[in-house]
Amino acid sequence: MAGLHTELVGTGRPRLAFLHGLFGRGRNWSGVASALAADGHPGVLFDLPNHGSSPWTDEFGYRAMADSVADELRLRLGSAARLTVVGHSLGGKVAMLVALAHPELVESLAVVDIAPAPSEGVDGFGPLVAALQSVDLTRVSTRAEVETQLAGSIPDAGTRQLLMQNLRARPQWHWQPNLDLLGASLDAIADWPDPGPVSYPGPVLWLRGERSEYVRPEHLDTMRRLFPAVELRTVAGAGHWVHADNPAAVVAELQRLVGGA
C-alpha cells in the first residue's frame, strides 16, 4: 500500500503522532496538536487507511493498520524514531497495537476513550454509512444541499457536521472514507484482535470521557496486563469525543505525559 497521508504541526522533529477515530481524519486533532506544538512539542497528524487522503485497502485489519503507521514513522523519521503515539477510539486500538508490535518506535502512549476489548455501539454507525451512501452526489452543487439531504436521516447537527468534514468537491463531489469497506467491516471495527503474550512497558496515559461508556471497570485488568505502567484519568464533562469536548484538559494531560516521557 502507498504511504499514509500525514501533516506536520509545528516545526522540527515531531514528538507526537495523532491517530483519529472511525470516519475521522488527522485534522480532528489539529487544535490539540497546535496547542502542544506552541509549547515546543511538534506533532504529526495521520490519516489512517480508508480515511481522509490516505489510500484505500481491500480488507479491514487493525494489525495491518498498525504496521502501516509504523512503516510511515520509520520512513519519515528513520530508524531512531521514537514518539508519543496518541489514538482516539479506532485510532486508540491502532495506537495500542503499534506500541505492542513496534515498541522501539513508541516513547509513550496515550489511549483516548477506548479499551483493548470489543466495543459496543459501533453498529450504530451502520445507519450513518447508509445515510451518506444515499446522497446522490452527482446531483448536488453545494455542501448545503448535501447537508439538507442528510438532515432527515441524521437529525443531530453535531454528528452531521462531523461526517460532513469528509465531503470533498474536487475533482467531483465525493466522500473521502471508503464507505463500502468500513460499512461492511463494523463487526471487525468493534472487535479487538488478541495481540498474544506481549506487553508494552513504557508510560501509558489512558483517558476516558466522564460521560462515555467505552471504558469500563472490567477493562482495567486487561489494560494493566498489556500496559503495566498505565494510568487511567477521567476528563470532566467529556463524552466519547474527549478531545473535542474538553480540549484544554486533553492538552494538559498530554503535556504532562510528554514532559515526563
pLDDT tens digits, 8-58: 999 999 999 999 999 999 999 999 999 999 999 999 999 999 999 999 999
Please check whether residue 159 lies inside any domain of the structure: yes
Residue from 68, 89, 108, 212 carrying the catalytic annotation = 89
What's the chain's average pLDDT? 94
Phi-psi region of 30 (alpha: psi -120 to 50; beta: other; left: phi over 0): alpha
Q: Kindly state whether residue 12 falls inside one of the protein's structural domains.
A: yes
123 flagged as catalytic: no
Please state the rounded mean pLDDT for residues 222-251: 96
Give me the domain span that covers residue 231.
6-119+192-260
Could you report the per-residue pLDDT of 110-124, keeping only the tens digit for each?
999 999 999 988 888
Write down the catalytic residue from 212, 240, 243, 245: 240
**Higher pLDDT residue, 134 or 2?**
134
One domain, residues 199 and 131:
no
**Do 73 and 27 fall within a single domain?**
yes
Catalytic residue among 123, 136, 180, 187: 180
pLDDT reported for residue 65: 98
Q: Where are the alpha helices (DSSP H) in 42-200?
A: 62-77, 90-101, 125-134, 143-151, 157-164, 179-184, 186-190
89 as an active site residue: the answer is yes
Domain end position, chosen among 184, 213, 231: 184
Mean pLDDT of 92-114: 97
The alpha-helical segments, DSSP class H, found in 15-124 are: 30-38, 62-77, 90-101
The span from the CA of 20 to the CA of 26, in Å, is 6
What distance in Å separates the CA atoms of residue 110 and residue 206, rounded to the nearest whole number? Answer: 6
The predicted pLDDT at position 78 comes to 81
Under DSSP, is residue 95 helix (H, G, I), strand (E, B) or coil?
helix
225 and 137 in a common domain: no
Higher-confidence residue of 158 and 129: namely: 129
Q: Residue 1 pLDDT > 70, yes or no?
A: no
Place 261 in a pLDDT band, splitting at 50, 70 and 90.
Answer: low
Query: Does residue 194 carry a catalytic annotation?
Result: no
Amino acid making up residue 226? L
Q: Judge if 57 and 127 occupy the same domain.
A: no
Handedness of CA 207, 213, 217, 221 (dihedral sign): negative
Q: What are phi and psi of 106, to 5 degrees?
A: -115, 110
pTM, two decimals, is 0.95
Dist CA 42 CA 8 (whole Å)? 7
User: How much is the pLDDT for 127?
Assistant: 93
Q: Is the pLDDT assigned to residue 208 strictly greater than 70?
A: yes
Do 261 and 107 form a contact (C-beta atoms < 8 A)? yes
pLDDT at 2 over 70: no
Q: Is residue 1 part of a domain?
A: no
| Residue 87 falls inside a structural domain | yes
